[in-house]
Structure 1
């Protein structure tokens, strides 16, 4: 520490006796360039071109001369080296409320919360905390709606079951999107033709022909114009 304070201009790696090898310099340079590419949403092809330009602009630099970071290597560094240390999976839970007012029924997002553990107890505690923190009375809660998973609406130990213990008579709301999804999923099994094959054939018909694609675009434009006239 004394040597570093005595000579402020002294490099930190020298002051603390950190060995900086050519390989470390090369790895740091490649990592920094890939980080710059990812941060500014540049393509890996653009990254490879930038590396080639830098090598031509600084031919006297041994580090620059040895950089071999094409688009394939850049992607590997971004996905397998930088991403694990810079990102983390975060579960976010939106708390949405719907209520009666003098202007009618209103709804909106009350708060987004970060949910580390998706257990019934943790979800129940966090949702209850958000409601109370916003000065909403639990005894005025009429219904609780959520995704149709066992954690949320199971019969034994779920978020709804825990709220129902506090509020007997609470109405269980279901996710209409999930109901529709399950209806289509199970209804598809009883169709007399393969809907997936039909959709693939329709897609193939339009994607391989610019003429067909243009005809479809014109049709959509016509429908949109027709609907605007009706409105």
Structure 2
């Protein structure tokens, strides 16, 4: 039994995992594509883990993500992270000059003006973009705006959850208050401070059992409550506090649905402050990089001049402008056809390439660049979710390499089982490596 587990582990780590990475790397290199790197850090107990995710555009399948590596390192300084990123790229054989963007959360170690990972990456690739995570921008903007409220609702939510989570007897007492006021028993949710949008469901849970919570804390009295909880649930401030909770519950729903809600005029107390935070840090003018590049999405009518200006803003040096002009003229009729209606940008480009009678070399280069740039760090966050599922308590003896192999296989292979089976059978080098227990080599 142990021997079988050992062979399965060797097969995953030495054959399938390297093969899963190589298939993506080969496509990028063969087509000379731009790619972006996304990364982040998370703890598994005392182990600090860093996934490195590639994002690129496949001309038949659309945007693709691949887990290039997954490593542990106790050193979280910008120099150590940068060295790891560049080292992993060098080992894979990918050209650092083709790295279009670097995406991660907006911590100063990643995007600081002087001694950050991004600034160090620019020394190796001066045109690399800082693909700030929109989810984190929204997270920071809402937190900054909510700090203007008279009550620190985030801390109240944390304290309420903590008060009951550490004591079964307190939970039982709250249940009795719920039954007395005929409110369905509420299971309070934990709010994670690094995930601001987790605050909304936590607030809604508290609002659902506001009456029993108020009765419970008032029954304890001011001396037995923390000052913050008494200010919120005590007799003097209870109604005002509830209004703040209701207000934030409504506004956070708007923020979580769409970033454009930051411009909503009907919610000025919170939105204007959030908008101020965002506008001070990011350029939204018509001449900004993001405004120009939005033309490349092809979701609205765009002249060749606007398209050409957007390409120049991307600093793409290997574009033949005369060839791009000819290609754009060829596809204008396809873009205006009825079958393009309702398609998002990625689908439009894929249809162009499938229907065009010529290779569209320059448009392929443009699409490969713009779709390699991520708008958030969500895919890396998904890797952490998968890590949590794979690295469960009952599997706590797994080492980092084993976890990395499992994650690479799960993330990098997206085929159906039958397709995957056929692919493996036709790859003689992979089968040979599996038989001999060797590492897969191209």
TM-score (norm 1): 0.47
Which protein has greater RCO, CA pairs closer than 8 Å, 6+ apart? Answer: 2
| Structure (1 or 2) with the larger CA radius of gyration | 1
TM-score (norm 2): 0.26
